[in-house]
Amino acid sequence: DIVMTQSPDSLAVSLGERATINCKSSQSVFYNSNNKNYLTWYQQKPGQPPKLLIYWASTRESGVPDRFSGSGSGTDFTLTISSLQAEDVAVYYCQQYYSTPYTFGQGTKLEIK
Amino acid sequence: EVQLVESGGDLVQPGGSLRLSCTASGFTFSTYWMHWVRQVPGKGLAWVSRINTDGSSTTYADSVKGRFTISRDNAKNTLYLQMNSLRVEDTAIYYCGRPLGGGGSIVAFDIWGQGTLVTVSS
């Protein structure tokens, strides 16, 4: 199984500042055949299901604000929120869909400083 | 509106059985692979199972293999998860998820249900 490890476990950032969450996979999730990274990011708020933010490691889902961006390739990935808003307080998860079992990171809790 | 609605969660004793349902609306259910994902309240997410469009192919996490069965009824736009030999560690919120693009390649879930709580306890 591919193990997904996020860092940090929790993060406190001031409003308007940048937030960066890292995700590392135990093996590459990059497919040479189509040059794509099989990595997605979700946001989950209390009492709600996860919300898709990013897929293919860097493609923003429709309707997601452009302050959210994804980057990275192979085994190391980053979710960046360029200017933190109050509504961004949530837990963020990465997930690989390179192979089954599809696996998630343990989550990063983002709070306001 | 594109929607998934789960039902069937309940309190059940260890060793018991339960069947979860996920009813889809607002999209062509029969053209999408479908998945179950679970989450222990307050903890992380764990993928459980997937099924292809016509139900001929299924895959399971090792933790549920041999105990859970995923199935679907495309005429009823409904996904199922039959859960047998339930264990305390199966206690979780169970979500059904629709992958972006429908097929087996982009397993990024753009549509989730609200979840149904399964509690396994004596």
> A54-87 pLDDT, tens per residue?
999 999 999 999 999 999 999 999 999 999 999 9
Residue B30 confidence class, pLDDT cut points 50, 70, 90: very high
pLDDT at residue B105 is higher than 90: no
Q: Which of B16, B32, B15, B55 is nearest to B102 (CA)?
A: B32
Distance CA B15, CA A61 (A): 41
Distance CA B94, CA B92 (A): 6
Distance CA B33, CA A17 (A): 39
Give all strands of the β-sheet with B78-83 in edge-to-edge order. Answer: B3-7, B18-25, B78-83, B68-73
Q: Report pLDDT for A69.
A: 98
Q: Report pLDDT for B101.
A: 78
What is the four-CA torsion angle of B4, B10, B12, B15, rounded to 10 degrees? -10
For chain A, state the CA radius of gyration.
13
The distance of B75 to chain A (nearest Cα, Å) reads 26
pLDDT digits (tens, 9 = 90+) for A36-51: 999 999 999 999 999 9
Q: Report pLDDT for A26.
A: 98
B74 — alpha (psi -120 to 50), left (phi > 0) or beta?
A: alpha
Tokens of B106: 């982009």
- What b-and-e string marks burial along A23-36, b requiring 16 or more CB atoms within 10 Å of the CB? bbbeebbbeeeeeb
Q: Which of B98, B107, B47, B34 is nearest to A56 (CA)?
A: B107
Q: Report pLDDT for A38.
A: 97
The residue type of A12 is A
Residue contact B95–A97, C-beta within 8 A: no
A46 — alpha (psi -120 to 50), left (phi > 0) or beta?
A: beta
Q: Report pLDDT for A97.
A: 96
pLDDT digits (tens, 9 = 90+) for B31-66: 999 999 999 999 999 999 999 999 999 999 999 999
Q: With contacts defined as CB-CB under 8 Å, which chain A residues touch B59?
A: 100-101
What residue has token string 């390649």?
A: B105
More confident residue, B105 or A107: A107
pLDDT at residue B102 is higher than 80: no
Q: With contacts defined as CB-CB under 8 Å, which chain B residues touch A106?
A: 44
Residue contact A50–B109, C-beta within 8 A: yes
Residue contact B109–A56, C-beta within 8 A: no
Q: What is the mean pLDDT of residues A13-40?
A: 97
Distance CA B72, CA B2 (A): 18
Q: Report pLDDT for B106.
A: 86
Whole-number mean pLDDT of chain A?
A: 97
